[in-house]
Amino acid sequence: MKVTLKYFGQLVDVMGNHEETQEIDVKNSNELLEQMKQNNPISHIPFQLAINDVLIDQEESKKLNDGDVIALLPPYAGG
Amino acid sequence: MSRYQRQIILPQIGEKGQQKLTEARVLVIGAGGLGCALLPYLVASGIGNLGIVDGDRVEESNLHRQILFSNNSIGKFKAEEAQVFLNNQNPACSITVYTEYLTAENALQLFEKYDIIVDATDRIAIRYLINDAAVLTGKPFVYGSIHRFEGQVSVFNYSNGPTYRCLFPKAIEVPSCAEAGVLGTSVGLIGMMQAQEVLKIILGSENVLSGELLIYNTLTASQHKFQFSKNEQIEITHEFFDTEYTSEKIEPESFHPSLLEKYTLIDVRELNEHPRIQHQNILELPLSNFKETLNQLDKEQAYLVFCKSGIRAAKAETILQEHNFKNTRALQESASQLEVLITNASVLKQ
């Protein structure tokens, strides 16, 4: 299935862009996260996941569907 | 009242709204980039009472974005310098300054004196303190923060709505302006958005940014809004507050070879992580399956936990304490550092 990944904050620098569409071979949000953490150096950055603009509880794995927009949202500190 | 006439004629404000502004009491924590942007607008609008908390003094590197200060301000307290500017701007606003940092000792008492708390700080640890103190005193708090050109804005604890902990249950520190860099106009825009939310709360607007995280990218001029809801599992009580902030935190232990005689070490990294450290006194119990393996341990025995960065070791230590283990500590060294220390001490099992 195809999903759009949106990156914010520090994740933009690590992932190299703000947004990308990817063909993924996972069923749920936990599997996606695990795969992303394996393939990218992002484990040191805290972030939350939003699927189609709604934050999810990362303790529960959410089923992903074709066309989903998944945002990775880290907290910011500057002020 | 001709001073406020242009806003009074707005149907959303009127004489009643202006009266609400006069009676409002707003506490702004931080007189940095965000604070300097939002403070003059709050004062200009006719807010009656304002508190400013900041223990920092003005530095030259602040001046490109903290526009209430000038060269003459360098070395002086930010809160006092802001007060000079704001008193001159609108003498009708009563301003109290606190030239100190917000701490667990002063937060609750300070918050009690105000209706709305504005978070214009630059550290995540302080944000949790603001959140928890705002919950305990029943005050809404207006959040703003920035990473380079991107800003986040939200309103927490508004009408029993979600809090910062519902959005980010537990976060480690991330880069601040000093580390990541920031443009004055970017932080200014986010501060202005916070000021707008403060006015909306005072005026009783139906559209307060509660349960929503707004992210505005000042470079691409694009914005996103994300919905989040209250996490009922998160309970912030006075007991929690005391444990979190006022109890003495046990610092991680520093490794010494003699500890291998007193303690059994537990490596909570996953089994595919390197380097592996082989020693008769080291157990390998990955955090992913940690709770299930606790039955291999003895609650009366002493354990030292380690991982790669210390984060998982701290989590494992908490789990052990929750399961009534008597003597457990986290090690501050990473597995790689430990490997060297143990090898140097020639105690590595051959």
Scan residues 230-259 of B and list those with Cβ closer than 8 Å to A. Answer: 231
Q: How confident is the model at residue B312 (pLDDT cuts 50, 70, 90)?
A: confident
Of residues B208 and B248, the one with the higher pLDDT is B208
Using a CB-CB distance cutoff of 8 angstroms, which residues of chain B are in contact with residue A9?
147, 150, 174
Contact B282, B269 (CB under 8 A): no
Check CB contact under 8 Å for A78 and B123: no
Residue A34 located in a structural domain: yes
* Within-domain flag for A78: no
Give the pLDDT band (50/70/90) at residue B252.
Answer: low
Q: Does B227 touch chain A (CB under 8 A)?
A: yes
- In chain A, the percentage of residues whose pLDDT exceeds 70 is 100
B232's tokens: 């009922």
Chain-centroid distance, C-alpha B134: 12
Establish if A79 belongs to a structural domain: no
Domain count within chain A: 1
Q: DSSP string covering B262-307, please?
A: H-EEEE-S-TT-SS----TTEEE--GGGTGGGGGGS-TTSEEEEE-
CATH at A30: 3.10.20.30
Domain-embedded: residue A45: yes
pLDDT of residue B349: 42
Domain containing residue A51: 2-73
Please name the amino acid found at residue B90: N
CA distance B14 to chain A (A): 33
Q: So what's the ipTM on this one?
A: 0.96
CA dist B87 and A32 (Å) reads 54
> Which two three-digit tokens encode residue B211?
């349960």
In a domain, A26, yes or no: yes
Phi, psi of B312 (to 5 degrees): -70, -35
Which residues of chain A neighbour B224 with C-beta distances below 8 Å?
6, 53, 71
Q: Is B211 on the interface with A (CB under 8 A)?
A: no
pLDDT at B329 over 80: yes
- Decide if A10 is inside a domain: yes
Tell me the average pLDDT across B6-23: 96
Decide if A12 is inside a domain. Answer: yes
**Residue B348 predicted with pLDDT over 50:** no
The domains found in chain B, sorted by start residue, are: 4-246 (3.40.50.720), 257-348 (3.40.250.10)
Tell me the CA end-to-end span of chain A in Å, nearest whole number.
39
Residue B144, helix vs strand vs coil: strand
SS3 B266: strand
Token look-up 């020639």 returns B346
Beta strands B141-147 and A54-55 are unpaired
Mean per-residue pLDDT, B59-64: 95
